[in-house]
Structure 1
């Protein structure tokens, strides 16, 4: 990780670069907003590691309970150039854009996820694989298409979904990117950014969504044990792990099938990666092999 990756990851999310005109010339300052001051303290330490020590944290909006971290960029070589890279004049307005030469590394992706990523879960669809959602509503359609291509280069398949703001009476407000859930995108995504949230900030709050709703935390942006069960049920090479474990236990395919309550052919196809088991059947297979979802995740990571 370097300071440019750190800055560009946050710029994909909630950070901005603003210009202040003075008689002595133009000054550029970076601003990152958050609900939890502890998160900004974490970022302050990260920036400090890369020589950016002139940072400050202030309460940004008392009514909304937000804080901001900022620093003037002119004191650091190369950083003022990020303003020209990330902002363009369009129809008399200065808009944030996705740079064509953006390098979407795992570090950039992690800090984008921390800022604007989520893993929405629908209680009424308990066996549904939860997608990763990346907010991109501050970017143009061209920018969204570029981000999809950048993600594709990492082996990640995302598609755009129209975003309607709850603060604007449901009016269209750009697009969000949803991950595919029927391939290895989710497994690969969290393999890149980390299968666990950064320990320093996992209990920092991201705020509340709607009146009377529960408080959400950064750890909620990562899959739970139950989520991993669903994700791994759709992940390639898991059948190879089952086949190896069956051999270690000296079970036949027929014996495993009988314990699970399915046909031998079903088990054969799962082992040969010709089909994915449904979440309920997948859970039963794990029980037969005495695997937890996290045990299986660890073994699948070893195959990557």
Structure 2
């Protein structure tokens, strides 16, 4: 079978047996996978990253194993779990989960209710404006039929005041109505874009990863857990640094831990905290977990991984607790693939 090679929108080389709609000047047809290896194929990334970044401690060395993952849904974090390029991350970094889908549907339903209420209120206000204008027009017609000049002057003064009030109200209404329509239109566009991104993410099989030294590569999707917020990617053909799991005995209350991730535009940011406890398959921590940190590792001071940071739960009057899926759970779910 023919293999097609092309650069995606991020400048990353992609190898696939499925051509794009029409091969163009940017697409090379390769006779076999072994004939044209990808740029850097076979490179020892552990040596490359360590040589470039020169980690000064175990935390910085652990950060060499962490990367940013780009998907149609946005950005998240992942980390190498073997020296052969397997990458663990959260499912919701790559695809819309059932939980997120339900949450999104709830938010959209509430938004539609608010839009409907606002539309009704604006329609009622427009009707009131229309009634007010009719009353003004009727009042103006009756002015000339008043008996005395003084009565007509007073009526004209009153009419001028009410007309000014109507014009001010009408101008304000038009402005608010236009702003409302603009916001609704923008919201509809956002919903369509979200649905499009979700559809793309559901069928996407290759994801751009950005390593600690800012180099970009393409990793393929291996597995998505049907029951847990876990997914597995694979960077083929490279020797990679990886995080070794900490012993279960390391999960003790009060133990110091570090969360590594890629919040917003920051790269490999590290936050410190302690283990607050366990809750089912989760390790609870007060280490700061920001948007974009999802899929990153929660590690010990020795650089061993305890779990995968997955979400943050806000509590009343407190900033919130971070939750990480414990590595024993991760290995139980992904272990059969890692052993291959």
Q: TM-score, normalised by structure 1?
A: 0.22
Find the structure with the greater CA-based Rg. 2
Q: TM-score, normalised by structure 2?
A: 0.20
